[in-house]
Chains A and B, each alone.
Chain A
Amino acid sequence: MDEPKIRDQTAALDPTSGRYVGRPFRRVDGRDKVSGVTRFADDLEFPRMCYLRLVRSKIPHGRISSVDFAPAQKVDGFLGSLVGTEMPETFGILPVSQDEHALGIDRVRFVGDPVAAVAATSEDSAYEAALQVRVEYEPLPTIASIEEALANPEPRIHDYGSEGNIHKRVSMRFGDLQSGFEEADLILEDHFFYEGNTHMALEQHATVAVPEDVDRITVYSSTQTPHYLHRALTRVLGIPAARIRVIACPNGGGFGGKSDPFNHEIVAARMALKLGRPTKITLDREEVFYCHRGRHPVSMKIRTGFSKDGAMTAQHLQTALDGGAYGSYGVASTYYTGALQTVTYPLPRYQFDGVRCFTNKPPCGPKRGHGTPQPRFAFEVHLDKAAEKLGIDPADLRLANLATPGQVTANWLRLGTIGLRRCIEAVIEGSEWRQRRGNLPYGRGLGLACGAYMCGAGLPIYWNHLPQSGVQLKLDRSGGVALFCGETEIGQGSDSVLAALVADVLGVDLQDIRLCVADTDLTPVDLGSYSSRVTLMAGNAALQAATRARNLIAGAVAERLETAPENLVFAERRVFDSAAPEAGLSFEDAVITAEARFGTLSTVGSYIPPRSPGKYRGAGVGPSPTYSYSAAVIEVEVDPSSGIYRPVHVWLAHDIGRAINPTLVLGQIEGSVYMGLGEAMMEEQAFRRLPRHLSDALVHKVPSVLEYKTPTFLDMPEVTSYLIEDPDPEGPFGAKEVGQGPLLPVPPALANAIHDAVGVRIDQVPIQPYMILQALAAGDKGEEARFGPIGFPEVDFGETLIVPTPEEGGDGRAINDPKSQRHSKMRGDTGTMSDRDKALKTKDRALTTK
């Protein structure tokens, strides 16, 4: 096998010679989407198709005593039912958190937890039948918050995890923290809270399972991760993976909310097999709130030492996450609340403690920015306060303290290119920060914040040493190029990116590329559309496959044209000698020449990220081939008499490496600003307990699109976007991610702008008008003009892993970890880089995660 890694991806081709890369081009699925031709999962119809509906728990915590389908069976059109014991195997996205059942077997853990399922000949009948199913429960006491989970180890929501209702605790120290704080001229400590929120993709999850023969099945689903769904189906259905085909339909938005394998997907497959009929389920909006996997509510305590010039000497960050009722990606989310603090500004010594609790609420998981918007909010507001105390302009504080390209951070992340300086310069110039900040009338303000994000997680979710992206190209005498890849189009434009990369390498038009994506039977594995990985990882795999195809064709054509392969140019659907352009072949003839010379033409490309230097337990979360950077300035208008405020303009600059399609990049930036403002201003996945003496109810406050507030067009300010291009050697043609990073600076920039406008600090999101009024009132009374949490929960984070930093001469390992000696195949949550190294050496092929 070739070394899959191409060292300098920017050198692959002169990007200015291509027709697409770097230029705005129409996305390949654009016409179909705007004209209603695209078939989403809910648009699929099959003969004899039946409709599935899940019966969900109406109590927040308890045991299931009985399920009675008798009244449901009387509903016209009723076809069948399922209960949990028919699917006893557990599943879950992370190997370490296999804690879900397709339908509850004995326990329910939140209002909305699926208990049973019914199928019927029509959607109306299935809905009615589900309402008729009678379930009896024995209630158990409930846990509603981080504080309650910490205070009440019993009853345990799960019988695994760190202890009691603590799912996961993490504590790690990089470097001599104490001397770091001793060196500081200023030590600042702050508390923050970031409320949970949900993805609100327009498309509600849908799945259609189609049985074939006796023991084969195809599952169409709105999933971002067909490969992981494939694995979960294999595990729960007990059918070999080779007989299950998962096809991810184009997603009507994902944002992380369709990255877990879900109950309804597995139940649809089981029901289809049971009834021998295609089975469709489309969730209603309330059910999407119960699938959730959205942003964790996080309490944070951050303490940082600064020298007079604003350089940071040490930081200690503590986070407590409200995880909801299941593991989901939670262990990774917990690490992510600490992992990326070090990649923007030099942080020579750093301690991170995190804890995730189980509560009787829908499970939290990954949402755009996965675990990092919360600590980023804390960090960037904290920096704004530090700048004020140190008498330094917040922009200058950041400009004077930027991380170094290629450096290895205190927590052992290797950084790539860093365009943050240019990002900051762009937004301060655009907003006229130097002239206007501090000179605006009372009630108007400017706020600045930055952020950074991964371009793909360095490690897969389950531990293995296989490619994380694969691309296969098939070329034949038609002159067409078929591109096979497991990646999933979730609206971000990944299909268009891959097609453009291949089209430019081969010098053909986008229309010559036939895409076949996200089909586990037909396409090479790609891990999915999450962690901002597709452009970089699938893009590099596509680049490799296309380069190999080009080389094959060039070899054959060079013989025929009697020139050297390196003299050949692929452009305008032709292959020709750069010295004698008129003597070339059409692309079609070039392929025919190659097919005649080599036989059937097909090439492959695959991608595995570079190894990360970190080798301590937990080092698997955070590494990435490179990181993207963003900076934002927000201008806000605040009415001090009501607390009502309005962002009036957002300037956002994003370090994209190189834009494959600038139009798509702008779309992602504007979408991120929109989502970031939603979280900062109004979005809340809020819950409600009824008075305890009258009821045990613990319910989602308002699981509806009307009452879960997301901004409308009228609430969106003007957005000015800047694309900062500094090609990164790790990315295809130098490209980095843009799907998630630009969200990060938005919430803290808003909070900082409100402070600039009326002088109050709001240390939590969403920022509500009453908070501003309360902070103003506190200021008037001579108290701190602030609204936010006043403390951090009492948490035992367990023993701290001690990891010397690169600067201290460390080797990337912890010096006090007894577990690091253990020879375990399945270790911990996400595996580590050393696991993979070992596996490569021993050729360990055991990839299942029982």
Chain B
Amino acid sequence: MLRLPQFRFHLPGSIREALSILAAEGPEARVVAGGTDLWPNMKRRHQKPATVVSLMSIEELNGVDVADTSREARIGATTLLEDLVRNPALRARFPGLARAVASISSPPLRHMGTLGGNICLDTRCTYYNQTEDWRRAIDYCMKEAGTVCWVAPSSSRCWAHTASDSAPMLCALGARLRLLSADGERILPITELYRDDGIQYLTKRPDEVVADVLLPTASDSDHCRSSFWKLRRRGSIDFAVLSVAAAVWTDARGVVSDARIFLGAVGSQPVAVEAATETLRGQSLTEERIAEVAQLARKLATPMDNTDFKAQWRGLMAARYTEAALREIAGLETEVLPPRHATL
């Protein structure tokens, strides 16, 4: 089987200890939580860190604090994905997020993977997520050890795509992150964590750790309706090849006061369908408006031939799935066969 390279492994018991190791080791150190992303990548020699620091023994990074609806919700970064799916308060308060998290991979991996890990998930590409032997056969690619982006050889940037399911939903819900480093703490809107680049896809420094996810009360299900649609080949396991996360705020008459739609897996970061907000604000969520927003989404999605399914069809599906997600929010029938996890 594929084997891990040699590295030093730290299992600090406190955040303070973890941060000081990270500060001392510099960029050669990597943080690991559940390991469902890092370990396979290291087996394929994508990353060869000299030191790996596990966060899993740090109690304060784990836990969900969502029951008190008068306060913003807090989810610790090392909370297991399955613990989120099974948390009734979270499901009631942020159903879109629960659905997004439930769609991640498969039950065994959700029992290992964490929310922080999913937020920081490495970007993916079928020219990159391959073994060392395979990548030698294409002389590597820009994301690691090579010079060309094989998806778009004339491009000067890497087109690896975001594959996180929680990211677009947390963006739509207006989540903020608490980052910790030896220098202290900073709070950052999650949208500012991401960059439109397949290689440098996070703005976070290597010595910074995502500690918590904070969700505003304004995004509670009392105030906001959210939906998440994920396109993939199979009912489980697969990463998204397209996802649509939508959150819509309406007043008592059903008039939209705010709307945020983010697309996953069709760019290097979650793609904001910004024009959708203007299109919908002050309007009712009618079939016509929804169809209009779907076309906006179609234009923003840049699916590339670096994952499953035909890229062109995924672009078309960006419109269909945006439409379906908004129709679901509006209580209209959805034509598209729903993804299997939609039953949650």
Contacts and interface: CB of A to CB of B under 8 A. Distances in A.
A and B bound? yes
Interface of A: 56, 58-60, 111, 123-124, 127-128, 131, 204, 282, 284, 286, 637, 639, 641-646, 682, 690-691, 694-695, 697, 699-704, 706-707, 709, 711-715, 768-770, 773
Contacts of A773: 313, 316
B336 A712 contact: no
B276 to A, nearest CB: 20
A642 B337 contact: yes
Nearest to A57: B137
A284 B139 contact: no
Name, among A286, A641, A699, A773, the residue most crowded by chain B CB atoms within 10 Å (CB to CB).
A641
B148 A694 contact: yes
Name, among B133, B150, B313, the residue most crowded by chain A CB atoms within 10 Å (CB to CB).
B133
Given A639-B336, A712-B106, A768-B309, 7 more contacts: A58-B133, A131-B132, A637-B337, A703-B130, A712-B234, A714-B234, A715-B234
B234 A643 contact: no
B134 A703 contact: yes
A26 B310 CA distance: 45
Contacts of B310: 768, 770
Contacts of B5: 128
B139 A697 contact: yes
B233 interface: yes
A707 B126 contact: yes
B320 interface: yes
B138 interface: yes
B131 interface: yes
Given A58-B133, A131-B132, A714-B340, A702 B148 contact: no
A284 B235 contact: no
Contacts of B134: 111, 286, 699-700, 703
Interface string B318-331: 00100000000000
A707 to B, nearest CB: 7
Nearest to A126: B3
B234 A127 contact: no
Interface of B: 1-3, 5, 106, 126, 129-134, 136-139, 148, 150, 153, 233-238, 308-310, 312-313, 316-317, 320, 335-337, 340
Contact of B1 (A56, A282, A646, A695): A282
B337 A286 contact: no
Contacts of B137: 58-60, 111, 697, 699
Given A56-B133, A123-B3, A284-B2, A642 B317 contact: yes
Contacts of A697: 137-139
A471 to B, nearest CB: 37
B153 A694 contact: yes
9 contacts: A60-B137, A124-B3, A286-B133, A639-B335, A641-B335, A645-B337, A682-B234, A697-B139, A703-B134
Given A702-B130, A714-B340, A643 B3 contact: no
A60 B137 CA distance: 8
A708 to B, nearest CB: 10
A770 B234 contact: no
Contacts of B139: 695, 697
A396 B309 CA distance: 38
A729 B153 CA distance: 64
A704 B235 contact: no
Contacts of A694: 148, 153
Interface of A is mostly: loop
Contacts of B236: 712-714
Given A56-B133, A709-B233, A712-B237, A690 B337 contact: no
Contacts of A286: 131, 133-134
A127 B313 contact: no
Nearest to A641: B335
Interface of B is mostly: loop
Nearest to B323: A641
A192 B153 CA distance: 33
A14 B312 CA distance: 62
A702 B126 contact: yes
B232 to A, nearest CB: 9
A701 B137 CA distance: 12
A715 B237 CA distance: 11
Name, among B126, B134, B139, B234, the residue most crowded by chain A CB atoms within 10 Å (CB to CB).
B134
Closest 3 CB pairs of A and B: A714-B235, A770-B313, A58-B137
A131 to B, nearest CB: 6
A707 B320 contact: no
Contacts of A131: 132-133
B337 A284 contact: no
B313 A699 contact: no
A646 B336 CA distance: 12
Given A284-B1, A646-B337, A641 B320 contact: yes
Name, among A60, A128, A709, A713, the residue most crowded by chain B CB atoms within 10 Å (CB to CB).
A709
B126 A712 contact: no
A288 B260 CA distance: 45
A715 B235 contact: yes
Given A699-B137, A770-B310, A704 B3 contact: no
A287 to B, nearest CB: 9
A183 B336 CA distance: 47
A643 B231 CA distance: 13
A699 B317 CA distance: 28
Nearest to B336: A642
Nearest to B340: A714
B313 A691 contact: no
Nearest to A694: B153
A127 B4 CA distance: 10
A90 to B, nearest CB: 25
A493 to B, nearest CB: 28
Contacts of B235: 712-715
A707 B239 CA distance: 9
A206 B192 CA distance: 48
Contacts of A646: 337
A805 to B, nearest CB: 46
Nearest to B339: A644
B136 A58 contact: yes
Nearest to A638: B337
